[in-house]
Structure 1
Amino acid sequence: MKKKSIFILLLVSCLSIIFTFTILKASAAEFNFAVETVIPKNQVDKKKTYFDLMMKPGQKQVLEINLRNDTENDVKINPLIHSATTNLNGVVEYGENDIESDSTLLYKMEDIVKTEEEIIIPAKGNYKLKMDVVMPKEDFDGVLAGGIILQEKTEGTGDKQKENENNKGLSIENEFAYVVAILLRENENGIKPEIQLNDVFPDQINARNVINANIQNIMPMYMNQMTVKAKVTKKGDSQVLYESNKEGIQMAPNSNFDYPISLHGERLQAGEYTLEMTAASMGEEWHWKRNFKIDGGLAKKLNDSDVSIQKDYTWLYVIIGSIVILLALILCVIFMRRKKKENDENKEQIACAEE
């Protein structure tokens, strides 16, 4: 199967009390167009190059992004707007992805901010991309977070996707995109951080067994520099079977992600287990203790597809050994019969000669 990976270039650089952004850099040669945001008057911090706006309930506003094409060919772009999410690495994503919206998210960014479905930046030209913002009529505390992803559309994209689905080999195709974060708020009221532990279940990441613990940020605020410590034991036992510690996690407002605890190549065993987990961020700390069960059928299914588990071929060796022994016995019997037959024939010849 051919996999795509998108290297994201965030047009943001922020390190503050409320939130931080991760910047993934790519050289200019990897893009056929340039991006520049037009910062409006209601920008919270005009030094920032992403949109962080103080809005009012029901307010309408048009945001602008200047796009420049320095190449000799037209550049076609399909802008996509998406709410911010948190991926399994504990990193906030602002572009489109397969992560489902959190149940606590009141408003999706793609429902509030609208733009054109397709644009063309002319060769050696510019294009002013406009985004229409219509705020919810109800007021809210905290921040709505999301972003717009700007990626060049190349010919044959659909064919490549079909080829990816049908290709049994594994390769990586890099695509580069600009992502401009969009933050919308209506006040600066303080919010008490709150996260919770949801499901705990066995799963796989990259065809390797893990135990996932779903952590949910139920508040409309970023959770920054979060640390997580987790350990798994047999239910009623204190011996730690698997553990994981991670620092520097960031969660988007009203989002959740599956925190993976690796089994490091060990087989899943059916039974009852206990997860003990501690998370800390923003001066707060949360502790959870959760019992969960691993079903035998699911354990076998995951073990069979885990590429890191050393397969047990004992049964095969037993069968092969049994076949070898059986063949040896058959050959031995055949040899003994032939030997006996030869001896009998020799005795008959000797008897005839004596007569």
Structure 2
Amino acid sequence: MKKYRKILLLIATIFTLGAMSKVAYANEFNFSVNPVLPENQIGQSGYFNLEMNPGQSQTLTVTLKNSTEKTVIVEEAIASATTNINGVIEYSPNKIKPDRTLKYNLADYATMPKEITLTPKSSQQVKINVKMPDETFKGVIAGGITFKEKDSGTTASKSKGLSIQNKYAYVVALLMQQDKTVVAPDLKMNAVAPGQVNYRNVINANLQNPNAGYLNQMYAQATIKGLSNTSLSYTANKEMMQMAPNTNFDYPIAIGEGKRLEAGKYRLTMTVYGQKDANGKYSSKDAAGKAQKFDYRWQFTRDFTISGETARKLNAKDVTVKPEAWYKNWLIWMGIILILLALLFLFFLLWKRRKDEEDEEEQPSEKEALQAQLEAIKAQLNEESKEVSEKDE
């Protein structure tokens, strides 16, 4: 059995629109990364935030430095920004599908070498070629550049078949826009459906930001009430989330460990705030009861249904849910009842058939009955004939 420790992304420059960290160096790395900011950089930050004209091409530079005594091979990749299930923006390659509203994927407008070799105690400049789309548009094309050491930090233990692998990467955000106009975010709710997170039952509300602007400092308040079973109620409130432009993610509402997902009808009500602002028009209270204001607010209500088959499959996979006792399973009880009814019906048919056969044996046949009647009539006629003869004599 092999177990892999979750990939740890040490982000060299973490983007939060207004709060950027400087380049970070970690002991786990055998190389360092330093972006060389160009003249068309918007603001002084440790990531690329470029203002470019439609159709403009440009070459960016990132300096990689190897301060060790060994050769280091660095793998490089470019990806469009996505939003993960925790409401955190990812700038590195992942398995999250691009949102259908994403018109300009950064991976289609930026190129760079797939890997580079750093000799001991050396540095090299990596060139990234970027191109702004020919069309005029408002908003941001967002993504990131990932630098990862090839086959780095691997420790393996053959005992008991255990293998642990650590992977570290630098990620530098790369933003491109045609002007400094801030595009307001938007928020839509797509499907609401049951699912699982870490083999635990949840109900996912898919949230979508269809605009080319960041949605920052999100505060979501969600409640699910059972309509078929009014005793069911689930809540999930979470603060300080963020969504990248033109992305979506599943916001999970946990039903509680050990609790079975029930089939039936439900109603989700959800309020999402965005962008904290002391002068914001929308007010709310955080988890500690402190008042806060936001520039944006969205409210959603959605009815949905969970089928019995879906609930059964998810409950079977939930590692915290105990298998249901056989005598509590209504399907088993229905089966037992149907079998008993079938046996009773069969018994009734056999009993009726046997009774009919006995009745037929006890009663004379129709022919015999008629013959007996004829014999009786004949005997009576003979008797009457004798009486008439005796009177005549």
Q: Same fold (TM over 0.5)?
A: yes
Aligned 8 A contact 1:84 1:92 in 2? yes
Q: 2:301 aligns to what?
A: 289
Give the letter aligned to residue 100 of structure 2.
Answer: S
After superposition, where does 1:239-254 map in structure 2 within 5 Å? 241-254=233-246
Aligned 8 A contact 2:182 2:213 in 1? no
Q: 1:196 aligns to what?
A: 188
Partners of 1:238 and 1:313 in 2: CA distance: 24
- Across the aligned residues of Structure 1 and Structure 2, the Cα RMSD in angstroms comes to 2.6
Partners of 1:238 and 1:217 in 2: CA distance: 32
Partners of 1:100 and 1:141 in 2: CA distance: 23
Aligned 8 A contact 2:56 2:132 in 1? yes
Task: Give the superposition deviation at 1:73.
Answer: 1.5
Task: Give the superposition deviation at 1:48.
Answer: 0.6
Task: Give the superposition deviation at 1:11.
Answer: 2.4
Q: 2:291 aligns to what?
A: none
Partners of 1:35 and 1:267 in 2: CA distance: 48
> SS where residue 5 of structure 1 aligns?
coil
> SS where residue 104 of structure 1 aligns?
coil
- Structure 1 residues 208-264: Cα deviation after superposition (integer angstroms, max 9, x where no partner): 000000000111111111100111112377655111000001111111100000111
- Of residues 76, 79, 83, the one that matches 1:86 is 83
Task: Give the superposition deviation at 1:120.
Answer: 0.7
- Of residues 228, 236, 242, the one that matches 2:220 is 228
Aligned 8 A contact 1:10 1:181 in 2? no
Distance 1:262 1:113, change over 3 A: same
> SS where residue 235 of structure 2 aligns?
strand
Residue ranges of structure 1 left out of the alignment (5+ in a row): 317-355
Give the letter aligned to residue 32 of structure 1.
Answer: N
Aligned 8 A contact 2:14 2:173 in 1? no
Q: 1:145 aligns to what?
A: 142
Q: 2:381 aligns to what?
A: none
Q: 2:319 aligns to what?
A: 307
Task: Give the superposition deviation at 1:176.
Answer: 1.0
Aligned 8 A contact 2:228 2:265 in 1? no
Task: Give the superposition deviation at 1:12.
Answer: 2.2
- Of residues 35, 42, 45, the one that matches 1:44 is 42
Is 1:121 matched with 2:121?
A: no
Give the letter aligned to residue 298 of structure 1.
Answer: T
> SS where residue 297 of structure 1 aligns?
helix
Task: Give the superposition deviation at 1:53.
Answer: 0.6
Partners of 2:108 and 2:205 in 1: CA distance: 30
> SS where residue 27 of structure 2 aligns?
helix
- Structure 1 residues 63-110: Cα deviation after superposition (integer angstroms, max 9, x where no partner): 000001111221111101000111101101100111011111111111
Aligned 8 A contact 1:230 1:243 in 2? yes
Aligned 8 A contact 2:229 2:264 in 1? no
Is 1:98 matched with 2:95?
A: yes
How many corresponding residue pairs? 304
Give the letter aligned to residue 225 of structure 2.
Answer: T
Larger RCO (CA within 8 A; separation ≥ 6): 1
Distance 1:209 1:255, change over 3 A: same
Give the letter aligned to residue 64 of structure 2.
Answer: L
Is 1:269 matched with 2:298?
A: no
Distance 1:24 1:120, change over 3 A: closer
> SS where residue 3 of structure 1 aligns?
coil
Q: 2:4 aligns to what?
A: 3
Moved more, 263-272 or 253-262: 263-272
Identity %: 43
Q: So what's the TM-score if we normalise by structure 1?
A: 0.79
Aligned 8 A contact 2:263 2:305 in 1? yes
Aligned 8 A contact 1:213 1:259 in 2? yes
Task: Give the superposition deviation at 1:193.
Answer: 2.4
Partners of 2:67 and 2:179 in 1: CA distance: 40
Residue ranges of structure 2 left out of the alignment (5+ in a row): 276-294, 329-393
Give the letter aligned to residue 278 of structure 1.
Answer: T
